[in-house]
Amino acid sequence: MISLKKRFLTELIGTFFLVFIGTGSAVITLMITQGTTPPNAFNIGIGALGGLGDWFAIGMAFGLTVAVLIYATGHISGCHINPAVTIALWATRKFPGSEVVPYIVAQLIGASLASFILAGVLGMNAVTVGGLGATAPFEGVSYIQAIIAELVGTFLLMFVIMGAAVDKRATPGFAGLSIGLTVAAVITTVGNITGSSINPARTFGPYLGDLILGGTNLWNYYPIYVIGPIVGAILAAFIYQYISSEEKLPAGKVIRE
């Protein structure tokens, strides 16, 4: 197996690109729509160009990045690029506990670097107008509703990871494509509810960047993006394991040929 040091670097690079490309698409959408008058309080600017199409575009930016990163680095580090995925794989005893913390640290560093470099290349408007793509519940969405939305979104993501990649019966070669499309689909719908993080690292980077660079302090919302994704991913992993396992024959009914 590739050394932990190299896998650490791979996770860092993967999460960097996920956050740079993914949140970058949200930041740029907000910068493009700056000055337009949103039709209602449920519209923060993403949606002003093409309604749900804006969220689809942002979802595809995330989804395509996830897909190509899986094909590029999946065999090196496993391409988790998401603490919720790392923890769910550990919970189902597929990933060693001793490597959980290094993986999560790498993901958080990669995400943070991406947010700072995004601010560097776009200027302070990325912070003041785009909020570095930080996620927060939308108008009328309660804390609990937001947690449930993140839970449901991450459940689907982890469920597809289990079915399309972990399960040895999965069709070979389609994991990246199916998981990338899942991310895009989840963001298209959950985007205008919570920002659709489904990844604690993806929210950590913009939150840290906003805090240090003078943007809005949103850390009181961070538990939403930790609890929802982690609980959703663990539930999905265990439920998939249960529904996909074969029934064991009773001892007295063993068939011999």
- Binders of another protein in range 158-197 (CB under 8 A): 161, 165-166, 175-176
**CA pair distance 44, 185, nearest whole angstrom:** 20
- Please say which residue, 139 or 167, places its beta carbon nearer to another protein: 167
- Binding residues for another protein, how many (CB under 8 A)? 20
Q: How many CB atoms lie within 10 A of CB 100?
A: 17
Q: Is 78 in the site for another protein (CB under 8 A)?
A: yes
Q: Is 239 in the site for another protein (CB under 8 A)?
A: no
Q: Is 77 in the site for another protein (CB under 8 A)?
A: yes
CA 116 to chain centre: 19
Q: Is 212 in the site for another protein (CB under 8 A)?
A: no
**CA pair distance 56, 66, nearest whole angstrom:** 15
Burial 156-180 (b: 16+ CB within 10 A, else e): bbbbbbbbbbbeeebeeeebbbbbb
Instruction: Give the amino acid at 143.
Output: Y
Q: Is 202 in the site for another protein (CB under 8 A)?
A: no
Candidates 16, 95, 159, 240; binder of another protein (CB under 8 A) is: 95
Q: In which residue are the tokens 């943070």 written?
A: 112
Instruction: Give the amino acid at 95.
Output: F
Q: Is 61 in the site for another protein (CB under 8 A)?
A: no
**CA pair distance 138, 193, nearest whole angstrom:** 5
Q: Is 33 in the site for another protein (CB under 8 A)?
A: no
Q: Which stretch binds another protein (CB under 8 A): 34-42, 44-52, 77-85, 113-121?
A: 77-85
Interacting residues toward another protein by CB under 8 A: 1-2, 7, 70, 74-80, 85, 89, 94-95, 161, 165-166, 175-176
